[in-house]
Structure 1
Amino acid sequence: MRGRDWINLILPDELILEIFDHLDDKSSRDACSLVCKRWCSLERLSRDTIRIGASGRPDELVRILSRKFVNVKNLYVDERLSIPLPVESGRRRPSVLSVRLHLLSETSGSQDNETEAYCLSDAGLAAIGDGFAKIEKLSLIWCSNATSAGLKSMAEKCKFLKSLDLQGCYVGDQGLGAVGECCKKLEDLNLRFCEGLTDAGLVELAIGCGSTLKSIGVAACAKITDISLEAVGSNCKCLESMALDSEFINNRGVLAVAKGCLKLKELKLQCINVTDEALQAVGLFCLCLELLSLYSFQRFTDKSLYAIGKGCKKLKNLTLSDCYFLSDKGLEAVATGCTELSHLEVNGCHNIGTFGLETIGRSCRQLSELALLYCQKIGNFALSEVGRGCKYLQALHLVDCSSIGDDAICSIARGCKLLKKLHIRRCYLVGNRGIIAVGENCKFLTDLSLRFCDRVGDSALIAIGRGCSLHHLNVSGCHQIGDAGIIAIARGCPKVSYLDISVLQNLGNMAMAELGEGCPLLKDIVLSHCRQITDVGLEHLVKRCPLLETCHMVYCPGITAAGVATVVSSCDKMKKILVEKWKVSQRTRRRAGSIISYLCVDL
């Protein structure tokens, strides 16, 4: 019957709660909570995740939220986010930040006290313990006012805690020790940039949570040494993932982890004092290893990769970055020994060349993602072997590979027809022939980036427009691309949501009009340094792209204050506009000042 509330009369609370549990989008949940008081109350009961940025009086905010959302299991506090400031006069759009601003307006005192009010303190940590007793995952990013006292009070009450992220928090050993003593279910721990910690705190935690700890990350902790890693190796037998970035870790610590943590699956190391001895132990003992990332190693050689290839048969993901003494022989050892490899990144390893990558193409048939960055010695024939052997390749990244050209890209296009992502930057031998082959063969391609590839022109994009359904396109700095190429994309790729056409000197208003007509799903566009685009073209674009959220248009002399005003008035969903300050009128600034950013303030 019309006017009767059949849903609330018939559906029990349990069924409505189950419906809410299937809503992953926060905006959908917020909308449901506004239907009626019953739905608001039930939605609060079902909410299990809360995210808090920098806000006025966060301690009080935590108390308020803990009273409203009693079943929260995941709490994320990130004080890197920008701090909203009160508006003294003028109108502004209402937002969720209004609660935070109201809390801020109630404060008084000196400027220093106001600054401290933005940071979660020990009182806030105590409120987390009191109000979120069911919490399982807690992330405290750069909460600089939190100390050991607050961490201890939280740990004593959060007995179900499984994941703790303390990145950038200046907590001490007593707080970390309390976590080890009280949180016996802890599995994941992040201690990056926790400068106040020493070996004493981490040793105590390893002893307390050793039976459950599965993941640990340490970076820029100068007082954490091999002593901590020896405790981890002795107590954390279930450890599966470790990330270390330290100048103070030596072979002794890594050896202890390799010998003691036999279930290790992921290992990321940036430790300049670690040598072949430690990496050989990883290959000998960590037989379950699936991911290995080695950064800035200057003291180990191919001997390490020989050991990895011989022992780590389950390795699927390998990253080698700035490892200067590795050569083709080491990569060959990994290729022949780790045939399940699916992801490979080689970055700045100047002694690795064509032969090493050839063996990857011949042996690693499951390869799905390949990234070659600053690899000057790798030539076309290497990618030809990848094209022949790696039929499941879905993503290829090439940056500053001066010896790779059209022959290589043609081989990839003909052999890797499942390719979805192709990113090429500053590979000056790649031109139209290679990209045309991609358009003709790679029908599943959705993400294409060709930054500063001088030989790529309109004919390449015409082939892409005919053969692929792109969602993301970046052709920044491809000077030969003009209206014809972008028009082909507009007509052939209606699902494009991200487009970077910056530094295209031959691009004009006709292309903008076609983009507006053909790409209604466009959300992000970068057209900076496009000298031929004017207010007319911009108007055609924004009038027909209602979903636009970001627009970068600096150094476009044909775009004036009128064009900027048109963007603001036409795009209700706009979140960020990047433009010169002098092109923004007072009226536009009053209307949308919060979403406008300035690259060059006084030009």
Structure 2
Amino acid sequence: MRGHDRINNFLPEELILEIFRRLDSKPSRDACSLVCKRWLSLERFTRTTLRIGASFSPDVFINLLSRRFLHITSIFVDERLSVSLPSLSPTPTRKRRRDKSSPSSSKRKALTDKTHSEAENAESCSLTDAGLTALANGFPKTENLSLIWCPNVSSLGLSSLAQKCTFLKSLDLQGCFVGDQGLAAVGDFCKQLEELNLRFCEGLSDTGVIDLVVGCAKSLKSIGVAASSKITDLSLEAVGSHCKLLEVLFLDSEYIHDKGVMAVAQGCNRLKNLKLQCVNVTDKAFSTVGELCTSLEQLALYSFQQFTDKGMRAIGKGCKNLKNFTLSDCYFVSCKGLEAIAHGCKELTRVEINGCHNIGTHGVEAIGRSCPRLTELALLYCQRIGNPALHEIGKGCKSLETLHLVDCSAIGDNAICRIAKGCRNLKKLHIRRCYEIGNKGVIAIGKHCKSLTELSLRFCDKVGDEALIAIGKGCSLEQLNVSGCNKISDAGISAIARGCPQLTHLDISVLQNIGDMTLAELGEGCPMLKDLILSHCHDITDTGLNHLVQKCRLLETCHMVYCPGITSAGVATVVSSCPHIKKVLVEKWKVSERTTRRAGSVISYLCMDL
């Protein structure tokens, strides 16, 4: 009944709090907090995570948040994200009856004056040691802290935080210029630390890392280091000696050699995830990894110059539990090395080969014969891998769900047909610039792979309408990208519109044979559409956009640059008709002053004025 509160008068706070805790989406929680003051207070009570971008006064911002949210355990500060501080001053057009001398007004005025004065200082745009100290005082129960590219945070602030936030379990300092003293303080006070990321921390050396490792030896499980010239094998030797629970290690450094990697392999027998980009590490280190890291499940190797089939054989012989394997730009590895991995690591579920020019058909054939549990395969820039490789994948890997092919010029329709017939559970197929793949292969996918939800055929210029007609009849796509497939016309996209009502993402850019009929069909058949990219489509006009937005009310993104038939009227139609629109990419001269005033925050321009 109107005028009667059937919730607040009957439900205890404990039950309302439990309901809020079960809400997964942030928009739902935000909506609940606006119902009444009681719900606002209770919803704040249940918040455990804060995400903060760069603002003009982050230190003040943290003070405000600490008074509103009392049970925060995870804080993520990323100064690559631009988030403005909300205005603290009263709206000028609205008169306030409150006495200017009241305590709340004076506090607000003082805080506003402080904010404006700090905005004049360039350094006020970054979190400082004072802000980090405020964070520690306001959120002493913090368990997960991420400080991404916060250049004004130093050892002083980190030391202050470490002394207060002793429950810290995860610390990400990517791009911060903290020194060894701050890291040593973390080791002294944060005895529960499990995850540590030191990517691009140029101010650190072995001294700080060793102090932290010794202090957190009984808890540390994950370490990441990249582009830190003063972190050498000495740090890894300390890790190997003390961190017996280590499971994850990410290294990207030219200052790490065999000695460091071998020390970790010898001391950390629980290692499960190893990701390396270390040009000075050789087969000698991988012989030790293969022999001692028998629990290894994920291995990613990038840009190795001294890694050969010998190292691959050691991995294949010892790492029987390997499930995820990535090999990128390792030019001295051949088919024999990949065969050794396939024969020894039969539990593989994901394999990515990227730019390894000495790996050809025989290596991937071995994967197909020996790894029946494979669910994802990515072959990127592999010119020597031909159709027989995918024949074996289709024959032996019945559980394959995802296939990525980029610039594989020797793979054609016959290979895709074999995949379609053998891998009936295929859900994602992404192909780019594979010029031998045409209608025949894609038609087979539409006929046999009924579970397909994502299809990308970028710049496959042999694919035409017949292929999309088959896909529309056989699959219920959610995402489709046919950018640059010049043989596709209105008939093909219309077939998708009629057969795939769940479509949410569509990229038809650089298609010269697409017109307004396509947009009208999409409007009728795909009401769930959220992202539409139609740049460089010369025959699309405002009329087509008008038909589209009448039904596609969920549209969030629309890219339409270099579409001469779309004018300022079309842009205004999209902005005014789509209540959920978040981004419109268009030439600046096509946006009227009225549209700018109405929706300037969602308009992005291809070129800025010089």
Deviates further, 263-272 or 569-578: 569-578
Matched, 1:546 2:553: yes
In structure 1, C-alpha distance between the alignment counterparts of 2:115 and 2:383, rounded to whole Å: 59
In structure 2, C-alpha distance between the alignment counterparts of 1:215 and 1:381, rounded to whole Å: 40
Letter in 2 for 1:350: H
In structure 1, C-alpha distance between the alignment counterparts of 2:486 and 2:121, rounded to whole Å: 50
In structure 1, C-alpha distance between the alignment counterparts of 2:531 and 2:191, rounded to whole Å: 45
Q: Is the 8 A contact 1:86 1:105 kept in 2?
A: no
Which residue of structure 1 lines up, in the alignment, with residue 251 of structure 2?
244
Which residue of structure 1 lines up, in the alignment, with residue 292 of structure 2?
285
Which residue of structure 1 lines up, in the alignment, with residue 151 of structure 2?
144
**Could you say if the C-alpha distance between residues 318 and 109 of structure 1 is closer, same or farther in structure 2, counting changes exceeding 3 Å?**
same
User: Matches of residues 322-333 of structure 1 in structure 2 within 5 Å?
Assistant: 322-333=329-340
Letter in 2 for 1:107: T
Q: Is the 8 A contact 2:52 2:83 kept in 1?
A: no
In structure 2, C-alpha distance between the alignment counterparts of 1:38 and 1:421, rounded to whole Å: 46
In structure 2, C-alpha distance between the alignment counterparts of 1:506 and 1:375, rounded to whole Å: 31
Letter in 2 for 1:533: I
Secondary structure at the aligned position of 2:77 is classed as strand
Which residue of structure 2 lines up, in the alignment, with residue 294 of structure 1?
301
In structure 1, C-alpha distance between the alignment counterparts of 2:75 and 2:56, rounded to whole Å: 18
Secondary structure at the aligned position of 1:257 is classed as helix
Aligned-residue offset at 1:36: 2.1
Which residue of structure 2 lines up, in the alignment, with residue 484 of structure 1?
491
Letter in 1 for 2:115: T
Matched, 1:23 2:23: yes
Deviates further, 60-69 or 172-181: 60-69
Letter in 2 for 1:274: V
**Could you say if the C-alpha distance between residues 139 and 85 of structure 1 is closer, same or farther in structure 2, counting changes exceeding 3 Å?**
closer
User: Matches of residues 58-73 of structure 1 in structure 2 within 5 Å?
Assistant: 58-73=58-73
Which residue of structure 2 lines up, in the alignment, with residue 170 of structure 1?
177
Match of 1:570 among 572, 577, 585: 577
The two structures, once aligned, show a CA RMSD in angstroms of 1.7
User: Matches of residues 11-410 of structure 1 in structure 2 within 5 Å?
Assistant: 11-84=11-84, 107-109=115-117, 113-410=120-417
What does the per-residue CA deviation read over 1:449-489, in whole Å, with 9 as the maximum and x for residues that have no partner?
A: 00000000000000000000000000000000000000000
Secondary structure at the aligned position of 2:271 is classed as coil
Letter in 1 for 2:420: A
Aligned length: 590
In structure 1, C-alpha distance between the alignment counterparts of 2:338 and 2:344, rounded to whole Å: 10
Letter in 2 for 1:285: L
Match of 1:536 among 540, 543, 549: 543
In structure 2, C-alpha distance between the alignment counterparts of 1:378 and 1:123, rounded to whole Å: 57
Q: Is the 8 A contact 1:107 1:114 kept in 2?
A: no
Question: How does the TM-score come out when normalised to structure 2?
Answer: 0.95
In structure 2, C-alpha distance between the alignment counterparts of 1:84 and 1:157, rounded to whole Å: 28
User: Matches of residues 581-600 of structure 1 in structure 2 within 5 Å?
Assistant: 581-600=588-607
Question: How does the TM-score come out when normalised to structure 1?
Answer: 0.96
**Could you say if the C-alpha distance between residues 505 and 52 of structure 1 is closer, same or farther in structure 2, counting changes exceeding 3 Å?**
same
In structure 2, C-alpha distance between the alignment counterparts of 1:310 and 1:510, rounded to whole Å: 58
Q: Is the 8 A contact 1:57 1:104 kept in 2?
A: no
In structure 2, C-alpha distance between the alignment counterparts of 1:83 and 1:125, rounded to whole Å: 18
Letter in 1 for 2:79: E
Matched, 1:416 2:405: no
Secondary structure at the aligned position of 1:597 is classed as strand
Q: Is the 8 A contact 2:57 2:118 kept in 1?
A: no
In structure 1, C-alpha distance between the alignment counterparts of 2:113 and 2:502, rounded to whole Å: 45
Aligned-residue offset at 1:30: 1.4
In structure 2, C-alpha distance between the alignment counterparts of 1:535 and 1:262, rounded to whole Å: 63
Aligned-residue offset at 1:53: 0.9
Aligned-residue offset at 1:13: 1.7
Q: Is the 8 A contact 1:56 1:103 kept in 2?
A: no
In structure 1, C-alpha distance between the alignment counterparts of 2:513 and 2:284, rounded to whole Å: 57
Aligned-residue offset at 1:17: 1.2
In structure 1, C-alpha distance between the alignment counterparts of 2:277 and 2:602, rounded to whole Å: 38
Which residue of structure 2 lines up, in the alignment, with residue 430 of structure 1?
437
Q: Which runs of 5+ in 1 are unaligned?
A: 92-99
Aligned-residue offset at 1:84: 3.9
Letter in 1 for 2:189: C
Which residue of structure 1 lines up, in the alignment, with residue 5 of structure 2?
5
In structure 2, C-alpha distance between the alignment counterparts of 1:216 and 1:287, rounded to whole Å: 19
Aligned-residue offset at 1:108: 4.0
Which residue of structure 2 lines up, in the alignment, with residue 94 of structure 1?
none
Deviates further, 53-62 or 549-558: 53-62
Aligned-residue offset at 1:601: 3.5
Secondary structure at the aligned position of 1:594 is classed as helix
Secondary structure at the aligned position of 1:495 is classed as coil
In structure 1, C-alpha distance between the alignment counterparts of 2:293 and 2:506, rounded to whole Å: 44
Q: Is the 8 A contact 1:54 1:81 kept in 2?
A: yes
Secondary structure at the aligned position of 1:541 is classed as helix
Deviates further, 270-279 or 561-570: 561-570
What does the per-residue CA deviation read over 1:121-150, in whole Å, with 9 as the maximum and x for residues that have no partner?
A: 111111111111111101111111111100
Secondary structure at the aligned position of 1:268 is classed as strand
Matched, 1:504 2:511: yes
